[in-house]
Structure 1
Amino acid sequence: MSIQPAQESDFHAIVRLLDETALPHADLTPEHLAHFLVARDGDTVVGVVGMEARGDAALLRSLAVAADRRGGGWASRLVDALEARARESGIRTLYLLTTTAEGFFARRGYQSAERDAVPDAIRATEEFRGICPASAVCMARPLVPMAEPVPVS
């Protein structure tokens, strides 16, 4: 399996995976996929994660792994890859909303955040304004830039 940038041709497979995992996607369009990654097994999409970037902040969304692939660390690998991509894009903080994965994200360094403290641009996303329920936990994680490798003499 490999993690790769999502392609527009992956759209229907991503929507199917989000349906299977009961994640919201009413606002998702093929244009969003520019900031999405997929885990592939051959030609089959078996995992997905995305972000909606707004300046130096982004909303992490749509983390899903096919039921028959769970427990193999693919969710962590997808988030690691998305965080690396976010850093490269100048994102300083990732925000998310979750109703089921608070523990997973807490173990990865995300902390509960007050919705009012989230930047207006993130709060203006469709997912934040109404697609995710008001009962969803809001979490945030600052992204520290990766240190430059130390040259070896």
Structure 2
Amino acid sequence: MKNLLSLRKFIVLLVLSSLSMTVMNCSKSDADTPTAQIVGTWKITNIFVKEGNAAEEDQMPLLLFFLPCIKDITFTFKSNGELAGSVPKECQSTADDFIGANGTAKYEVKDNKLTITDTDGTATTEDISFSGSQMTWTSSETSGGVVTTTKVVFTKQ
């Protein structure tokens, strides 16, 4: 009986120590990293702008009014660091003024920052965050002492 009790204690301790080692060795999988999360095709769903102390406003409905095809523009982030944009033919001339021509660029995600480098070498850096199937780019600029913050929300397709 004493041996059976000792064996039970040993088994319980073995299970608990195995469980604790498993928990301690858990880490984020590569699929949880921002670089892995960004891979795929995305569409813009919201563009929030906040100027100074004014309330944040979604500019997407207004933009859709003037440029309805913006809802069909896609951005594809490839695992090799290449970014490709696709603008529907019916709105290329107008959309090119807003987002540039169809084409490819390079991107890098590091320390919650997304850096996009165009083919001409021009680099743009945005703060980036993910929540479920959404990605948000945030940037701020100051003009005349007024800070304007823009958040562009994308939904993964």
TM-score by length of structure 1 reads 0.24
Q: Which has the larger radius of gyration?
A: 2
Structure 1 or 2: more strand by fraction? 2
